[in-house]
Structure 1
């Protein structure tokens, strides 16, 4: 019986490792994270040292107010000044502790600003009190008095601002979302709000007029801003579906729906419908006359498709290629839709804003052009490439 006990004894410490305290790090920090932590610690130390000077200045001003105006003794004046400054320091420490614990510390942070402002104003006001003459004091104002009062008022506020920056860094460290995610969510929310405005105007019978044109223009700007913040994918349709407006992007930004642009408007495509299977990706359209050397593989719905195993890992590094790929897909869709109406290549190039050779490359060399009118045949009348064989 002793032998099995000996063989099973070594795995015993495993549960202890699993039930380690929640605060213990699961893995060692990377060099970048260690450098960021050291930078935050250094910033906290420097801000604390910088706050010592305005704290002493405010304490000296409060002691002078207590002695000259209130008639306190030196000990009582120092006690009053120390009380206010200790309240300031304790509020600052409580606010930082709340930030490090991930709890809201708005009351403590507000107390830091309030006590700093009160002590600075009282100390600065004391500079305007003149000397006592026959038991009466009067106000006096001269350049040196104004300068001294400004120093006593501004110094505590600068210290409070430095401490607020320390608190902001601590809050960001324990925030659920990064700044990039917050910016992305704001852009997506702006698209959803603009789409809701367009929908309400259309449902209320205001499909024409200045208000609907302004709303569609705002939706277009919000959509472009969202494309610059995040790669086109499932996020945007998901947000629009949550507000019941997922169909407004192709409706409000399709051909002929843009205010003042008519057929010059470029359609914007959203996510593919459910059950749709993407064909082989095609190269993103790049205008021959544009100085753009970056090309991306784009699917039929304008979503960038990279090599297997590749993806957009950083919004900022992939921002420009994604926007260019989306713009190329939009141009390509516009060219094909204009060609479906029977316009000539010259007219399509003028309306979309690309060169004629780009239009020809998109439509393909097998498209027959009318020798009399120069118009392209409708898509329904075209013979698919290879069908005549």
Structure 2
């Protein structure tokens, strides 16, 4: 029997298995070292520029709620073990495991590309969502400032946008988010998966603490930004008992709306999550997976658009009922924040610059 994979300090995934498109599979090898031996240096993060041709991505998924989005980064240093974006690293010949957390790509030309796309004559203004795949305020944003640059462009154009994060770093940009929020040009969601510091540390190792996320909600709300709470993912048998407490804490901090998503385990995530669960919570691993399968028709995951976000069956129905009751109790029933698309305007200097290349 192979020994259990050893966790790496500051990382969520336990292994770095090859992506599903690779012709050769690589597996970790146990060389006899244990936790009692000297620990090697932490896995370092590498950053690679990605020279994209455009920055706005479109989709036709009927259950997402937006049809255009921007992701300044590929990969995410937060290391959330449940992250649905992990499989995207396989398209680049990298592992959805540790590679996803440590081999990151950033788009240095993002702000310039955004200005170019917004200034195009055929552009039609609709809400843009920032961070639909990976977190726009992950740790590398402190130095790269790609997200900051994008917000500056959006502000110049009065382009409405929503943004989601689990980082307190979003408060750095309250000078932009506040005025745009008050003008119905910006809204924010802060993801709070648990109030348990220990669970957050192992499940989301490099994300902000739950208290810091609640602080972000308060500072955004105080600045006039419409802000909501994302209790996502709900993991039956692991964090679902905190649903009401998270929504109550969010409401007290100033949130006016809330949403939830039931744990999704597509592609490589199912194996990564099982490895993590067996290591981090061995006492309840079997029960958690049993409950997860009960929300997915007896499978680890069902990708059908009609139910992939919430699941089906008695367990999923109970989560839904509890969420609706808690949202009503704590005043979080407000609909998704409506943004104003009528204020969009291409600045004169941006149009003049574009005409030089027309």
Higher helix fraction (1 or 2)? 1
Same fold (TM over 0.5): no
TM-score band by shorter chain is under 0.3
Report the TM-score, using the length of structure 2 for normalisation. Answer: 0.24
Which structure has the higher relative contact order (CA within 8 Å, separation 6+)? 2
Structure 1 or 2: larger strand share?
2
TM-score (norm 1): 0.23
